Structure 1
Amino acid sequence: MTETSTAEDRGAGRSARGSRQGNPLARFFNKIILFVRQVIDEMRKVVWPTRQELISYTAVVLVFIAVIMAYVVGLDKVFQWLVQWLFGSN
């Protein structure tokens, strides 16, 4: 079943939330403090990798970068050879 609210219930909530009274500078700093608290709460939820996981992930990334570098160098050499063959070398 759904609950119905009266105009008084809806108005009371809106006036409390929509109130723009108070010092704007204080509201600004309250928002910053809220943001920092939320960041700290989210950081507590993070599952940090172990030292061994970090080492293995780093090794995987370095190997992947080396493979991509070799691929790009290989393509560069092939295109260099093609250009020299097409246009002749000096």
Structure 2
Amino acid sequence: MTAELEGKKGRPTPSRDGRGVKQSLPSRLVRYLREVVAELRKVIWPTRKDLVTYTLVVLVFVSFMVALVAGLDFAFGKAVFAVFGNG
């Protein structure tokens, strides 16, 4: 039995060595679209309440980060002008 396995060991499978059946472009496109639809059916979509909650959380976080960066920019600008003068 090991002699049988050793004879096949190290040889690539047909799908990996590129000798698979070549499909036409339209059939590949149709297959791709079917797989996309199949994957989208697996998605757990958020409810409207979840969507509103997540949107508000993102907007509050982004607003906070904008205010933080603007505040730091203003503070560092004042510090640079205090150290080096208005030029």
> When the two structures are aligned, how many residues end up with a matched partner?
75
Residues 1:39 and 2:36 are matched in the alignment: yes
- Alpha-carbon separation, structure 1, partners of 2:69 and 2:41: 41
Residues 1:77 and 2:74 are matched in the alignment: yes
Task: Give 1:88 deviation, angstroms.
Answer: 1.7
Decide which structure has greater helix share.
1
Structure 1: where are the runs of 5+ without partners? 6-13, 21-25
- The one-letter code matched in structure 2 to 1:85 is A
Change (3 A) 1:54 1:34: same
- The one-letter code matched in structure 1 to 2:56 is A
Greater relative contact order (Cα 8 A, min sep 6): structure 1 or 2?
2
- Alpha-carbon separation, structure 1, partners of 2:59 and 2:71: 18
Task: Give 1:69 deviation, angstroms.
Answer: 0.5
Give TM-score scaled by structure 2 length: 0.73
Task: Give 1:18 deviation, angstroms.
Answer: 3.1
Q: Which runs of 4+ in 1 moved over 4 A?
A: none
Q: Residue deviations 1:22-47, cap 9 Å, x none?
A: xxxx7111000000000000111111
Structure 2: where are the runs of 5+ without partners? 6-13
Identity over the aligned pairs, expressed in percent? 40
Give TM-score scaled by structure 1 length: 0.71
- Alpha-carbon separation, structure 2, partners of 1:19 and 1:87: 71
Change (3 A) 1:79 1:27: same
